[in-house]
Amino acid sequence: MEITKDLTIPKLFYERARRYGKKVAMREKEFGIWRPITWHDYLENVKYLALGLISLGLKEGDKVAMIGDNRPEGLWAEMATLCARGVGVWLFQDCLMEEVKYIVDHSDTKFLFGEGQEEVDKAISIFDECPKLEKVIWDDPKGMRNYHQDYLISFKEVQRLGRELEKKEPGLFEAMINKGHGDEVALLFYTSGTTGLPKGALLSHYNMLTMGKNLMAVDPCFETDDFVSYLPFAWIGEQMMAISCGLHVGFTINFPEEPETAQENIREIGPHVMFAPPRLYEQMTRTVQVKYLDASWIKRKVYALATKIGYHVADLEFQKKPVPWYWRCLQWLAYISMQKKLKDHLGLSNIRNAYTGGAAMGPDHFRFFHALGVNLKQIYGQTEISGISVVHRSGDIKFDTVGIPIPETEVKITEDGEIISKSPSVFLGYYKNPEATAQTLRDGWLYSGDKGFIDEDGHLVVFDRSKDVMTLTDGRLFSPQYLETRLKFSPYLKDAWVIGDKRDYVTAVTCIDYSVVGKWADEKKLTYTSYPELSQKPEVYDLVERQIRQANKDLPEVARVRKFVNLYKEFDPDDDELTRTRKLRRAFVEKRYHEIVDALYSDADVVHVDTTITYEDGRKIHIKTDLHIRKVSGH
């Protein structure tokens, strides 16, 4: 399909909806059943919602923010905004009040779509401080019976207004869509920067559509495919699949019943394509590893044998060597005895392409999925390039690279090693921030701030964020992310933070996985009452030390982790330690935990900590504790 500058997302949407009519566009699990919604229903809902927004006073270029779990109404709201020529702004569901306030205010949001009571409560508490916000729209009536603020309006009521407008001005909806142009702003994305305040990236219709087209040119999807939408729409990756690729191909989008049931619902649907940040794959790996520890000895034997075969075949394929017929036979045995079942449990049975992106993924996880026969590929890109510029090709996967550029995309390395790229999907600029725009966008090239190089096969290797690259004692450059992903391959470690830039040796701050280590402790008959207590048990330190020694194995002497400390809590986006997409905000944690860092580089074996923790509901508690510092033996 040709993407012209004239085409917009609403135009494509309208065309698709007319073409597919009775075909199922999306499904939502509700009251325990998958409820189908046809393209016709999709169009009707979007149409009246869009007209309703217009009759409430939405003008061209006005911002409409959305917050809530993934559900059809969320997607309708976004599509209706675009049809009414507004600009969509998605917020992360778990955003704290200040973040919501900042984004709503900075983006000049006029209307806010919230799902239900929880979101409406957030909106009410910021309403007075956001003078440009006019209406708050909700769709889930649960708990809403006692809310009577006049700026609150229900989704149904907006659609009713839309129907009235339709009677008065038939054809307005179609006329609005026809007026649109591809260069107009479609979405405003607040990037969860690892430093400073979030910046709003402006993406045009043309950006979004070309991105979808170019990804689909690499890995085509089909109308009959299923996709499960459960990651935040505020993440560009979810927009990539649900909007750009979804409209291009017309596959069915499935919404889980509740966030808690997502894994189960994925299994029921068996999607053909998925795109998720590494932490989800890390979670899957951990689940498998933990279940393995629980299984009977015969199952463990079968699993061990089958993975051995899987790893061997995957490694042959990684090296692009032919797989001999007897290995193919063995692989088939591994498939029927273990892989088939395991893939089914993970909801990966039908997967043709699984993508990961947004953060670094360790080679161990990568090999793990390929050994299972899952075609996992790395995507590299920024929100500023509509999410993707580089991806692996089937049959040409190297687990230490992120692949080669998608069509119409150029990637270059500057003299000082920065990755820059150019494509029709490069964004328009940052909203109300010309300095940042000028810094990132030079002569049409997008400056990523990532360091990397292009290898002999033309694959892009992303080293790390420029400012994160470590210089070791021998002058060698090293990526802390690489070490962290290695550590995270252990099921017992949920997060790790590696330190060592211009220091005498490398150290790590580790966060144990509460449920996995907790279970391990139960079996060892260790008593504990809380995460802080469990993390400080000497036995747990022994366990973590073993994991670190394992990860240290193939590393050069200077890059090995020498000392570590178990943190008394997990890293959390609510404490600003991680971004909403769960990337470590290094500068921030370094400041916050400077006492721990200092202690790691002194002779102390205990560090005293005195700090506050913020809970999800905004409550704060004070923590005073002593953390032990452990030397990794063998050094």
Partner 1 sequence: MVKPNELREGDVLLALEDVHMYFGRVGALAGVSLEVRKGEIHSIIGPNGAGKTVMMNCINGLYRPQKGNIYFKGQSILKLKPYERAKLGIARTFQKIEVFRGMTVLDNIRLGRHIHLKSGIISGSFYIGKAAREEVEHRAFIEEEIIDLLEIEHIRHRPVGMLPYGLQKRVELGRALALEPELLILDEPLAGLNLEEVEDMARFILDINEEERWKVTCILVEHDMGVVMDISDRVFVLNFGNKIIDGTPEAVQSHPEVIKAYLGVEDLYATRR
Q: Which is nearer to partner 1, 35 or 591 (CB)?
A: 35
Q: Which is nearer to partner 1, 157 or 164 (CB)?
A: 157
Q: Which residue has the tokens 């000392």?
A: 563
Rounded-to-integer distance, Cα 315 and Cα 363, Å? 12
Question: Residue 358 carries which DSSP code?
Answer: S
User: Shortest gap between Cβ of 284 and partner 1 (angstroms)?
Assistant: 18
Q: Which is nearer to partner 1, 418 or 574 (CB)?
A: 574
Q: Which is nearer to partner 1, 105 or 533 (CB)?
A: 533
List binders of partner 1 among 359-418 (CB under 8 A).
Answer: none
User: Shortest gap between Cβ of 615 and partner 1 (angstroms)?
Assistant: 10
Q: Which of 222, 208, 190 is nearest to 92 (CA)?
A: 190
User: Shortest gap between Cβ of 33 and partner 1 (angstroms)?
Assistant: 8
List binders of partner 1 among 109-128 (CB under 8 A).
Answer: none
User: Shortest gap between Cβ of 32 and partner 1 (angstroms)?
Assistant: 5
CA angle 14–138–134, rounded 5-degree value: 90
User: Shortest gap between Cβ of 335 and partner 1 (angstroms)?
Assistant: 28
- CB half-sphere exposure, 315, CA atoms < 13 A: 8
User: Shortest gap between Cβ of 139 and partner 1 (angstroms)?
Assistant: 15
Rounded-to-integer distance, Cα 371 and Cα 511, Å? 27
CB atoms < 10 A from the CB of 94, how many? 14
- Per CB under 8 A, the list member of 31, 297, 325, 326 interacting with partner 1 is 31
Q: Which is nearer to partner 1, 228 or 559 (CB)?
A: 228
List binders of partner 1 among 248-287 (CB under 8 A).
Answer: 257-258, 260-261, 264
Q: Which is nearer to partner 1, 145 or 148 (CB)?
A: 145
Q: Which is nearer to partner 1, 262 or 342 (CB)?
A: 262
Is 523 exposed, middle or buried (CB count within 10 Å of its CB: 0-12, 13-18, 19+)? exposed
Asked if 560 contacts 633 with a C-beta cutoff of 8 angstroms, the reply is: no
User: Shortest gap between Cβ of 69 and partner 1 (angstroms)?
Assistant: 12
User: Shortest gap between Cβ of 255 and partner 1 (angstroms)?
Assistant: 13
Candidates 27-35, 89-97, 206-214, 542-550 — which segment interacts with partner 1 by CB under 8 A? 27-35
User: Shortest gap between Cβ of 143 and partner 1 (angstroms)?
Assistant: 7
Q: Which is nearer to partner 1, 258 or 474 (CB)?
A: 258
DSSP, collapsed to helix, strand or coil, labels residue 40 as: helix
Rounded-to-integer distance, Cα 169 and Cα 289, Å? 61
Q: By CB under 8 A, is residue 142 in contact with partner 1?
A: yes
Candidates 138-146, 156-164, 303-311, 596-604 — which segment interacts with partner 1 by CB under 8 A? 138-146
Q: Which is nearer to partner 1, 256 or 429 (CB)?
A: 256
Question: Residue 584 carries which DSSP code?
Answer: B
Q: Which is nearer to partner 1, 522 or 626 (CB)?
A: 522
Candidates 26-34, 211-219, 356-364, 472-480 — which segment interacts with partner 1 by CB under 8 A? 26-34
SS3 for 385-406, per residue?
Answer: HCCCCEECECCECCCCCCCEEC
List binders of partner 1 among 426-465 (CB under 8 A).
Answer: none
Q: Give the helix/strand (H/E) hosting 30.
A: strand 24-30
Q: Which is nearer to partner 1, 257 or 577 (CB)?
A: 257
If phi > 0 it is left, if psi is from -120 to 50 it is alpha, else beta; for residue 328 that is alpha
- Per CB under 8 A, the list member of 22, 145, 167, 553 interacting with partner 1 is 145
Candidates 30-38, 43-51, 352-360, 378-386 — which segment interacts with partner 1 by CB under 8 A? 30-38
- Per CB under 8 A, the list member of 143, 220, 407, 556 interacting with partner 1 is 143
Rg (CA), the chain: 25
User: Shortest gap between Cβ of 119 and partner 1 (angstroms)?
Assistant: 16
CB atoms < 10 A from the CB of 520, how many? 20
Encoded amino acid at 9, one letter: I
Q: Which is nearer to partner 1, 164 or 574 (CB)?
A: 574
Question: Residue 373 carries which DSSP code?
Answer: T
Q: Which is nearer to partner 1, 118 or 164 (CB)?
A: 118
Asked if 390 contacts 374 with a C-beta cutoff of 8 angstroms, the reply is: no
User: Shortest gap between Cβ of 152 and partner 1 (angstroms)?
Assistant: 18
User: Shortest gap between Cβ of 257 and partner 1 (angstroms)?
Assistant: 5
| Extended beta strands in 298-444, E state | 353-356, 376-380, 390-391, 404-405, 410-413, 418-422, 429-430, 441-442
Q: By CB under 8 A, is residue 618 in contact with partner 1?
A: no
Strand order across the 506-512 sheet: 493-499, 506-512, 561-566, 620-631, 606-614
# of chain residues touching partner 1 (CB under 8 A)? 13
List binders of partner 1 among 146-175 (CB under 8 A).
Answer: 146
Asked if 478 contacts 503 with a C-beta cutoff of 8 angstroms, the reply is: no
User: Shortest gap between Cβ of 140 and partner 1 (angstroms)?
Assistant: 10
Rounded-to-integer distance, Cα 604 and Cα 565, Å? 12
Candidates 65-73, 143-151, 388-396, 540-548 — which segment interacts with partner 1 by CB under 8 A? 143-151
Q: Which is nearer to partner 1, 4 or 146 (CB)?
A: 146
Asked if 582 contacts 277 with a C-beta cutoff of 8 angstroms, the reply is: yes
Q: How far is CA 483 from the centre of its chain?
A: 21
Angle formed by the axes of helices 72-83 and 9-20, nearest 10° = 120
Angle formed by the axes of helices 39-56 and 72-83, nearest 10° = 60
User: Shortest gap between Cβ of 267 and partner 1 (angstroms)?
Assistant: 13
- Per CB under 8 A, the list member of 2, 22, 32, 167 interacting with partner 1 is 32
Beta bridge partners of 109: 63
Is 40 exposed, middle or buried (CB count within 10 Å of its CB: 0-12, 13-18, 19+)? middle
User: Shortest gap between Cβ of 263 and partner 1 (angstroms)?
Assistant: 9
List binders of partner 1 among 548-577 (CB under 8 A).
Answer: none
Q: Which is nearer to partner 1, 33 or 295 (CB)?
A: 33
Q: Are strands 87-90 and 185-191 parallel, antiparallel or unpaired?
A: parallel
Residues that bind partner 1 (CB under 8 A): 30-33, 142-143, 145-146, 257-258, 260-261, 264
